[in-house]
């Protein structure tokens, strides 16, 4: 079966044999995708002309209501999505929930938040700017929705959330969406779009999907569009260097590699709640979605006196977790999404081993439960220990996209700051400490190189939202190697899909142009 693409308001099949999508446990072929022969230029034009016009004719409030309806449709089909996740991504129920329920939660959050913008169709940004001695000539800034398409080139690890966390602010802004999911796991994204289109919630052209190769898609972007990419730094560079992107100064948002940190403060010694919370979170991050999260913990920093105890505690927990076919009772950790990802992870692990010694797992000959190593895509969870600090060649640079992390001891806070920053820009760092003096020094020293810093202590206990969880109300993104992008953060996310401009003129004209506009201050409130 070849999955349909949805372009120009129609369901279209790509030409040729297509690319097979596989079950990463059995190797079985599930469906095929193809984008061959499709007119992507026409699809972009249709999305702009039909989808964009219709969306912009609606108010923020009306579009927010659409997001709520989309969340309902997805909730109604949740079981089907879990089944596709299991088959196409080898997801346990917890893994699938992380993706699918995360998508629904994000849509609901934006549906609720978007109501505050009411019947407006654009935003006024700040107050009147005086430009003459009287009010005869003034300035007024606005944020107006882009008249282009939000093009999402997405990663394989979040086929559900990856679409909707971007689509929610785009659609709420009045900008149509065209998503190209990563080929290996495109099925779930495609099914969700199919369900939403069938429900007739959005106007024609408001959502499009192309599965398979992106082909000439980027040749058709221009100044009106936004490209949002999640994936490898290499592909990000190709997008940024694309002639049409460069020629038209196309807005590009990138979320790429990130060698995220977990940090045990000087007080997080064995026997404390902070130590235990760190161990629990590290194990969760290593195993949920088999470590295939851009936010997952890759480096674990612990005071030198504590590092070995930490590694032992994490290893002990890992040893009790069953890795194998997620259809089997008791299995906690599934496969990677593909044999290619398995090979890449094992290659990365081999690099880390040049810097660090294995404390647990990472056996390439490991045998998963109820799965054939010859056809499946499993990687045994691995914990490493590196005492090279800043001299390590790979640990601070290589993001192994699987259940792999490295413990690094630190001698003092200055050494800790230098090593954490050595990641070159990260999505997130989590800190386990109740030492306010340490935290108030440490957090500002790393904050400019991170999109998010999470701090957990014994009082917070298990009430935190998780190192790896992206909350729709909080910023997701990070500088440098993390791609430099910004997603979510509540209504702030709408800024990417609006253009700021200023009108200079008489006060009665500015009054007329402001009529019905909402206050952009609501985005940051």
Stretch 205-224 residues interacting with a copy of itself (CB under 8 A): 222-224
> By CB under 8 A, is residue 505 in contact with a copy of itself?
yes
Question: What separation in angstroms does the CA of 396 have from each of 168, 204, 217, 310, 468?
Answer: 33, 46, 34, 19, 18
CB under 8 A: which stretch of 62-70, 279-287, 412-420, 455-463 binds a copy of itself? 455-463
Q: What is the largest CA-CA distance in the chain?
A: 80
Q: Is 386 a catalytic residue?
A: no
Nearer CB in complex with a copy of itself: 249/320 = 249
Which tokens is 446 given? 């790393």
**DSSP single-letter state for residue 369:** B
In whole angstroms, the minimum distance from the beta carbon of 436 to a copy of itself comes to 6
Candidates 198, 237, 305, 414; binder of a copy of itself (CB under 8 A) is 237
- What is 226-269 written as a DSSP string? EEEEES-HHHHHHHHT-HHHHHTT-EEEEE----EEEEE-TT--
Which residue stretch of 32-40, 81-89, 352-360, 435-443 sits at the interface with a copy of itself (rule: CB under 8 A)?
A: 435-443
Which C-beta is closer to a copy of itself: that of 184 or that of 490?
Answer: 490
Residue 81's contacts (CB-CB under 8 Å, 6 or more residues apart) are 74, 96, 100, 160, 188, 191, 192
Give the nearer residue to a copy of itself in terms of CB position, either 420 or 520.
520
Q: How far is the CB of 186 from a copy of itself (least distance, A)?
A: 26
Q: Smallest distance, Å, CB 244 to a copy of itself? A: 11
Tell me whether residue 141 or residue 388 sits nearer to a copy of itself (CB atom).
Answer: 141
Per the structure block, which two tokens stand in for 350? 């081999």
45 binding a copy of itself? (CB under 8 A): no
- How far, in Å, CA of 334 to CA of 24, rounded? 9
The question of whether 294 is a catalytic residue gets the answer: yes
The answer to whether residues 95 and 289 touch, using CB atoms and an 8 Å cutoff, is yes
C-beta of 180: minimal distance to a copy of itself in Å?
21
| 299 near a copy of itself (CB under 8 A) | no
E-strand ranges in 277-326 read 297-303, 322-323
- Binding test (CB under 8 A) with a copy of itself, winner from 16, 41, 127, 516: 127
User: Any contact of residue 424 with a copy of itself (CB under 8 A)?
Assistant: yes
Interacting span for a copy of itself (CB under 8 A) from 30-38, 198-206, 412-420, 466-474? 466-474
Q: Write down the catalytic residue from 66, 211, 294, 386.
A: 294
Q: Which helix (H) or strand (E) holds 274?
A: helix 273-287
Strand 475-476 and strand 487-488: the pairing is antiparallel
- Site pattern 129..168 for a copy of itself (x: CB under 8 A): xxxxxx-xx-x-xx-xxxx---------------------
Question: Which of residues 115, 119, 509, 516 is near a copy of itself by CB under 8 A?
Answer: 509
In whole angstroms, how close is the CB of 363 to a copy of itself at the nearest point?
34
Q: At what angle do helices 161-173 and 60-76 cross, to 10 degrees?
A: 160
Residues whose CB falls within 8 Å of the CB of residue 238, separated by 6 or more in sequence, listed in order = none
Q: Which of 284, 339, 388, 492 binds a copy of itself (CB under 8 A)?
A: 492
Of these, 233, 369, 375, 415, which contacts a copy of itself (CB under 8 A)? 233
For residue 32, which phi and psi values (nearest 5 degrees)?
-125, 155
Cβ neighbours for 89, distance < 8 A, ≥ 6 positions apart? 24, 95, 96, 156, 159, 185, 188, 334, 337
How many C-beta atoms surround the C-beta of residue 230 within 10 A?
Answer: 25
Residue 511 tokens read as: 């009054």
Q: How many residues bind a copy of itself (CB under 8 A)?
A: 89
Q: Closer to a copy of itself at the Cβ: 88 or 260?
A: 260
Minimum CB–partner distance for residue 234 and a copy of itself (Å):
10
Q: Which stretch binds a copy of itself (CB under 8 A): 24-32, 157-165, 382-390, 465-473?
A: 465-473
CB of 222 to a copy of itself, least distance (A): 7
Joined together, the tokens standing for residue 162 give: 């990856």
Segment 238-277, which members bind a copy of itself (CB under 8 A)? Answer: 240-241, 246-251, 254, 256
Instruction: Please state the closest distance from residue 485 (CB atom) to a copy of itself, in A.
Output: 8
* 119 is a contact residue toward a copy of itself (CB under 8 A): no
Of 170, 169, 180, which Cα lies nearest the Cα of 150? Answer: 170
Record the tokens describing residue 104, joined without a space. Answer: 């629904």
Catalytic residue among 165, 255, 399, 487: 255
Q: Is 455 in the site for a copy of itself (CB under 8 A)?
A: yes
Number of Cβ within 10 Å of residue 495's Cβ equals 19
Beta strand 138-145 with 498-505 is antiparallel
Q: In whole angstroms, what is the distance from residue 324 CA to residue 171 CA? A: 39
Q: Which two tokens stand for residue 196?
A: 């939403």
Q: Any contact of residue 114 with a copy of itself (CB under 8 A)?
A: no
Q: Which 468-487 positions form the footprint of a copy of itself (CB under 8 A)?
A: 471, 473-475, 479-486
Which of 152-160, 280-288, 402-410, 505-513 is the region at the interface with a copy of itself (rule: CB under 8 A)? 505-513
Q: Are 351 and 396 in contact (CB under 8 A)?
A: no
Point out the residues that are catalytic. 255, 294
């Amino acid at each position: 079966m070849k999955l349909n693409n949805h372009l120009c308001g129609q369901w279209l099949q790509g030409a040729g044999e297509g690319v097979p999508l596989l079950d990463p446990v059995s190797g079985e072929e599930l469906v095929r995708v193809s984008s061959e022969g499709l007119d992507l230029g026409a699809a972009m034009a249709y999305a702009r002309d039909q989808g964009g016009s219709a969306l912009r004719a609606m108010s923020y409030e009306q579009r927010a209501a659409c997001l709520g309806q989309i969340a309902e449709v997805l909730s109604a089909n949740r079981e089907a999505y879990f089944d596709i996740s299991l088959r196409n991504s080898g997801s346990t129920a917890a893994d699938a929930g992380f993706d699918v329920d995360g998508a629904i939660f994000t849509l609901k959050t934006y549906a609720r938040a978007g109501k505050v913008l009411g019947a407006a169709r654009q935003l006024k940004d700040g107050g009147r700017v005086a430009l003459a001695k009287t009010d005869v000539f003034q300035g007024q800034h606005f944020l107006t929705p882009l008249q282009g398409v939000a093009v999402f080139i997405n990663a394989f690890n979040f086929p559900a959330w990856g679409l909707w966390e971007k689509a929610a602010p785009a659609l709420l802004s009045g900008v149509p969406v065209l998503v190209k999911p990563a080929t290996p796991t495109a099925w779930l994204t495609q099914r969700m779009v199919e369900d939403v289109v069938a429900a007739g919630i959005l106007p024609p052209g408001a959502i499009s999907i192309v599965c398979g190769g992106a082909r000439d898609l980027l040749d058709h972007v221009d100044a009106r569009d936004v490209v949002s990419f999640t994936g490898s730094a290499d592909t990000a560079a190709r997008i940024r260097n694309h002639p049409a992107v460069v020629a038209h100064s196309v807005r590009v948002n990138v979320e790429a590699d990130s060698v995220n940190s977990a940090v045990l403060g000087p007080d997080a010694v064995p026997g404390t709640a902070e130590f235990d919370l760190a161990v629990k979170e590290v194990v969760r991050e290593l195993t949920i979605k088999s470590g295939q999260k851009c936010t997952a913990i890759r480096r674990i920093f612990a005071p030198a006196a504590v590092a070995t105890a930490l590694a032992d505690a994490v290893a002990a927990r890992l040893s009790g977790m069953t890795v194998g076919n997620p259809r089997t009772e008791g299995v906690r950790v599934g496969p990677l999404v593909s044999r290619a990802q398995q090979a890449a992870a094992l290659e990365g692990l081999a690099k880390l081993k040049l810097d660090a010694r294995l404390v647990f797992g990472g056996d390439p000959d490991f045998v998963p439960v109820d799965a054939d190593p010859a056809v499946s895509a499993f990687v045994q969870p691995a914990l490493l220990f590196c005492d090279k600090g800043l001299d390590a060649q790979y640990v601070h640079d290589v993001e192994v996209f699987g259940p792999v992390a490295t413990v690094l001891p630190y001698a003092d806070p200055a050494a800790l700051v230098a090593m954490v920053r050595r990641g070159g820009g990260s999505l997130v760092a989590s800190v386990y400490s109740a030492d306010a003096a340490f935290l108030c020094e440490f957090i500002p020293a790393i904050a400019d190189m991170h999109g998010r810093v999470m701090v957990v202590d014994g009082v917070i206990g298990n009430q935190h939202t998780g190192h790896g969880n992206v909350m729709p109300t909080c910023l997701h993104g990070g500088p440098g190697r993390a791609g430099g992008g910004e997603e979510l953060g509540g209504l702030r996310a709408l800024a990417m899909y609006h253009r700021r401009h200023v009108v200079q003129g008489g006060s009665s004209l500015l009054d007329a142009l402001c009529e019905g506009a909402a206050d952009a201050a609501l985005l940051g409130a």
